[in-house]
Amino acid sequence: MSTLMISDLHLDPQRPEVTAAFLQFLHRQTRDADALYILGDLFEAWIGDDNDDDLADQVASALAARPIPKFFMHGNRDFLLGADYAARCGMQLLNDPCVIDLYGERVLLMHGDLLCTDDAAYQAFRTQVRDPQWQQGFLAQPLAARRAFAAQARAASAAHQSGFANMESITDVTPATVDAYLHQYRVTQLIHGHTHRPAVHTERGHRRIVLGDWYDQGSVLEIPADGEWTLQTLPIRHGVSS
């Protein structure tokens, strides 16, 4: 038995091969799992739980069919995913950050964007869109208006990132911020996604595991109840629909 963790799938109707890989993962690898944790950005964009597209229905049905505990933490793309959709999926919503007991060990879970404090412009945007009043106003708009906003936000994000002279340092985590969170929550283990740089970092007396994205290949952290943690890759067959 083991616990599985994934993030940054960025599911999108325009990338059906990733949806197909995710559905196959659910069918094959979660069958004997103790739990599944999704640490944000399950979807490329989420415009509200009243989203009526086929992808939302397909993912909810597939997740609900897996009879294991499932947990979801908001990412920077799907922070509007609410209790109604989580219930459809059979998922429990998690705060970001949160500490869990993982087979007797305290582990800090985060999506990861809070760790990227060198990107001041993004952090200001994050504060704005996480405000309950902003979210209430956004969700009150018609679906068409929300879809248009999401498209504009994606384009603005791409333009913002392309303007960095030192993309590697700006969009990665800030080491001092990592240390501050580990100290605040009194842990030595941190698992997060967001940066799309899968790796296991052992440094400064702690271990930080970064989950990968699901673009060219899938990324899964498998944590056995008694055994070595492994950061695995999964094939994505491009050109294959779900």
Annotated binding-site residues for substrate read: 76-77, 119, 157, 161, 194
The dihedral sign for the CA sequence 48, 50, 55, 60: positive
Q: How many CB atoms lie within 10 A of CB 17?
A: 15
User: Tell me, what amino acid is at 24?
Assistant: Q
Annotated binding site for Mn(2+): 8, 10, 41, 76, 111, 194, 196
Q: Is 220 helix (H, G, I), strand (E, B) or coil?
A: strand
Q: Which residues have C-beta within 8 Å of that of residue 62, sequence separation ≥ 6?
A: 22, 23, 26
User: How far apart are alpha carbons 48 and 201 in whole angstroms?
Assistant: 35
Q: What are the b/e assignments for 101-126, b being 16+ CB within 10 Å?
A: ebeeeebbbbbbbbbbebbeebeebb
Annotated binding site: 8, 10, 41, 76-77, 111, 119, 157, 161, 194, 196
User: How far apart are alpha carbons 189 and 105 in whole angstroms?
Assistant: 9
